[in-house]
Amino acid sequence: MQVEAIDAILAKFPEKRGSLIGILHEVQNHFRYLPEGELRYISKRIGIPITQIYSIVNFYNRFSLKPKGKNEISVCLGTACHVKGAEKVMNQIKDKLHIDKGETTDDMNFSLDEVRCIGACSLAPAVVINDDTHALVTPKQVEKLLSKYKD
């Protein structure tokens, strides 16, 4: 367990109990997921029951209890993206990375998830990798797109 890293994160929040979601975001950004030991440590340090922390973590899909890859891929499967072929794009990404939705590559370089809408319907089908939104993505573009993020 990385107590020093958690203590440094907690030090950023003067009102710890009211800042739980912000604290969890910082921990997620640091570790790329929310490790159980660190969550239990936070629970004890700020006096919030671990069950309450887990209910928050499980409610928001931004949080993950499994390690995420260095590059997080979100394929929009909302109505506009679906109609314009996002499922084919998703399938091509799955084939190229040899993972399914919700999984991470063995080298921890990529994680793949689906989202219902990113609010960019005019860009459909859209794929978000980390903070980069890629518009009008076709299955043929997937290999080149992924190569930009390989180690």
DSSP H or E run through 113: strand 110-115
User: Which CA distances in Å does 32 have to 78, 90, 124, 126?
Assistant: 25, 22, 27, 23
Given this model, what pLDDT does residue 121 score?
94
Average confidence score pLDDT of the chain: 94
Tell me the Ramachandran region of residue 60: left when phi exceeds 0, alpha when psi lies from -120 to 50, beta otherwise: beta
- Please give the CATH superfamily to which domain 71-147 belongs: Glutaredoxin (3.40.30.10)
Q: Which residue has the higher pLDDT, 148 or 151?
A: 148
Give yes or no for residue 151 having a pLDDT over 90: no
What are the residue ranges of helices labelled H in the chain?
A: 3-11, 20-31, 36-46, 50-59, 79-83, 86-97, 142-147
DSSP string covering 65-80, please?
A: SS---SEEEEEE-SHH
pLDDT in tens, 137-147: 999 999 999 99
Give yes or no for residue 62 having a pLDDT over 90: no
Average pLDDT over residues 93-101: 97
Average pLDDT over residues 114-136: 94
Residue 109 — pLDDT band, cuts 50, 70, 90? Answer: very high
Residue 80 — pLDDT band, cuts 50, 70, 90? Answer: very high
Domain map (residue ranges) of the chain: 3-59, 71-147
Q: Which residue has the higher pLDDT, 118 or 98?
A: 98
pLDDT in tens, 5-36: 999 999 999 888 889 999 999 999 999 999 99
Question: In whole angstroms, what is the distance from residue 45 CA to residue 49 CA?
Answer: 10
